[in-house]
Structure 1
Amino acid sequence: MAISEHIEEFHGLPVFDFPGAEGTELPAPESVAWRVQVEYDGGSDFAAVWASFLAAVPVERVRALVIGPWWEDEYELVEPVIAALTGSADRLGGLRALFLGEVTFEECEISWLQLADVTPLLESFPALEELVVRGASADYDGKGGLALRALRHENLRALRFEAGGLPVAVVRAVGESDFPALESLELWLGVDEYGGDAGVADLAPVLSGERLPALRRLGLENSALQDELAAAVAGSAVVRQLESVSLALGTLTDTGAEALLGLTHLRRLDLHHHYLTEGMQQRLRDTLGAAGVELDLSDQEKPDDDWRYVANGE
């Protein structure tokens, strides 16, 4: 299930591609989520595109930004983008939401996106409420790679990392951070082949809920460890405060689903892209569905012999 389409809405706002078609009147800055990107073979770089954006839009009123491809033809590290954003922080006082790396597979496979330390984004934007980061890889020389340092952020309400392989250091940093306002946390853990080296034990601080008092939605997704994660979530301290759980996009089987049958207090349980038998799906409907839990059991997959795959790897 490669990511094939761009988002049309972000942070409750429609996405507008800057600068828009020729002759298009720019919308009110606060009325859209601005998608800023470098066009393929367009003869420009991100610094020039960003300078044009700053000159054309009253950015003090911008509430949401979506950053698409930041390279012209050859993939490159995202560091110049982070530097441009943090360097403009004094002008972006109204920014509340940021999506870094909103890229489809035709533009770049998720595990080829060359990321860097995203901590400066949270440090530079203390009023930020939503952060989404797609990708995790280093460059071809091994430089960069997705990183996060433990920190405290008072206003972040939603945090999502999408990766074919999420580094264990990032998972641990999330667990060591203080996010008192965080309501939604989604981690695409991925697989070993693409750097997803976190184990269930590395999620212990998240599953304790001690630093996440406001958390209501938890997604531990896109993992080859989905059965183990299901058991860990079901037996965790944090699950009691959750309204929604997602264990989607991974390799969940009947073994993992068995542990979820007791979560009748949830409002929603998302398991789409799974390897559940028809019998287990019916048990979930009879137990959880009958208790009022909204279930997503779509995208049933069939194993190829004993091989099961996550939805977003390469």
Structure 2
Amino acid sequence: MSDLFAVRVLGVSRRAARLLVTSVHPDSGKSAPHAVFALMLMYDPIAQSEDAAFSKHRHLEDSALAQAMDERSVFDSAWMKANAQAFVAKVKRSGPLLEIQPTHPAWIEHLRKGMAWRTAAYDAGPGLPAAPRSPAPKGAPASRSQDPAAGFRVGQPHLPKHKLPGAFIALYGANRYVADPVLTDPAAMKNATASMVGQPLLLVPKRGPKRVGTLVLTSPEQVLIYHEAADWHGSEVADFDDLKSLGRAWLSQDEAATAPEPTAKTGPRKAAKKAVRKAGARKAAKKAVSKAGPWKAAKKAASKAGARKAAKKTVKGRAATSVRR
């Protein structure tokens, strides 16, 4: 999708963020003094934190807003409409100037005077009334669900080229999952993923927001991850050397307490557990950390699947983030 506006942060206080928002596309119209549009702009620097323009801002991925929402949230129009007013109390527009007043100072504390970017954000209306939200207190790492199927659809990816009928496909955004085990060494990542095709991975890049996806191809240097949501699906490549950590994704315990039971459509619990036992993802990952790992098997799987060649041929950028819905 084409960029619609150029954005520059003019100033940030605990009370408000002042942005200069100017049109760069003939069909953009005026910037919208609405909560949904404002929240899109607030999240933009986090989504674009991998870009060179934000290279000096090392705080974005750990900011309060990055912990409260993720890229999948931004692409989910229903979520944005239902939650925007929980983060944005009021928006004032005066010509190209937009003043965003948050419901809590933490929601704009990641913005810095002088930040500038282009955006495909658009007017999606004011959103629905929502109670003001506060950041979750920082504490111990979240524990995970004991059910390997919780939070996943178990079945075939929507991309026909990925022939994985028992794949675990995340139903939510990355913030609702935790990794177990957590692998931080590229060699351990390479060894573990050789036997994890079809399993869900939680990826934490060195720059950029974390993401969750289904492993569909692996090679000694990288993995190809599949994502899907209600109105989009796609794949992306991740190089091991560009990751802080990688691990099997599990729904967090707090989320599992409120997650619906799996249905026949999303994948029976029994079939999911059987698939996990068959893949042996957790056992294989821990074994790969404690031992050298099956390098030979990893290379054989990579040459058979042609992951690197296929990824470069079929994936240009992140398909899942190419269009703002």
The reply to whether TM is greater than 0.5 is: no
> Which has the larger share of strand?
2
* Structure-1-length-normalised TM-score: 0.30
Give the structure, 1 or 2, with the largest relative contact order (CA under 8 Å, sep 6 or more).
2
> Which has the larger share of helix?
2
* Structure-2-length-normalised TM-score: 0.30
